[in-house]
Amino acid sequence: MSLTFAGVSLAFGAEPVLSGIDLTVAAGEFVVLLGPSGCGKTTMLRLASGALKPGRGTVTSGFARAAVVYQTPRLLGWMDALDNAAFGMKSLGVRRAERRERARAILMRLGLAEADLAKRPSRLSGGMAQRVAFARALAVEPDFILMDEPFAALEAGLRRRLQDLVRAETERSGVAALFVTHDVAEATRLASRIVVLSARPGRIVADFANAPAREAAEAFEAAAALLRRSDVAAAINAAGGEEF
């Protein structure tokens, strides 16, 4: 099972956004797409999920079930946390009692307290709401999970705790992941493989294996080493000298 981009290019009107993308994500891999703002990362996720078709080239997926986690939680306001997390299983024909049981177990692993389960999204903190969104994605037992800067809006300490949970949960289930970020330390904490995109139009400028950093200091050292790579430095310079 895998997802393959072969010679993919895409333009919005006259504006080229992605150029000549060749990429395969295999079962069990955790691929982080790292690149500057506007380089086409979200567009690549939309191509990967089938929401968008490429202008040139092909995107083919052999995965049976994909789930998406967005930058904002996108929970249903009239449902409590438990029903939100259970929601995705409905269309799979899972019975209500089992849906709620499965969702509860995942929410507990993700750090929600019993009292949080009956709360509507408006009463959840940003971090709690994003845990519920992640639980909703995991609950359908996907073999591929797409994540679009899911922690960008959260403060650094909370972001690190959620990164640890994402890594633990993806390792536990073996689900393949494609995760978009412009945070270099986040990439080094999560990825089994890091793919670096240039500024728009996005092209792949580096693609290398990464052993996920376990400690904060290790993540920062790995991030510094990544930024010293000549191929990555060239992409940053081409992006106007700004870091990702």
Ligand X SMILES: Nc1ncnc2c1ncn2[C@@H]1O[C@H](COP(=O)(O)OP(=O)(O)OP(=O)(O)O)[C@@H](O)[C@H]1O
Which residues in this chain contact ligand X in the complex, by CB under 6 A? 12, 17, 35, 37-43, 182, 200
Residue 216 CB, shortest distance to ligand X, in Å, is 23
Count of C-beta atoms within a 10 Å radius of residue 42? 17
Is 188 in contact with 222 (CB distance < 8 Å)? yes
Comparing CB distances to ligand X, the nearer of 46 and 167 is: 46
Comparing CB distances to ligand X, the nearer of 61 and 71 is: 71
Tokens representing 2? 């895998």
Comparing CB distances to ligand X, the nearer of 33 and 162 is: 33
Question: Counting every residue, how long is the chain?
Answer: 244
Nearest CA among 244, 237, 112, 118 for reference residue 187: 244
Comparing CB distances to ligand X, the nearer of 104 and 200 is: 200
Nearest CA among 99, 71, 102, 97 for reference residue 183: 71
Residue 155 CB, shortest distance to ligand X, in Å, is 19
Comparing CB distances to ligand X, the nearer of 24 and 37 is: 37
Comparing CB distances to ligand X, the nearer of 46 and 102 is: 46
Residue 103 CB, shortest distance to ligand X, in Å, is 29
Residue 202 CB, shortest distance to ligand X, in Å, is 7
Burial status of residue 72 (CB atoms within 10 A of its CB: 0-12, 13-18, 19 or more): middle
Residue 100 CB, shortest distance to ligand X, in Å, is 34
Three-class DSSP category at 218? helix
Residue 207 CB, shortest distance to ligand X, in Å, is 17
Strand ranges inside the chain, DSSP E? 2-12, 15-26, 30-34, 56-61, 66-69, 144-148, 176-181, 193-197, 204-209
Q: Which residues contact 155 (CB under 8 A, 6 or more apart)?
A: none
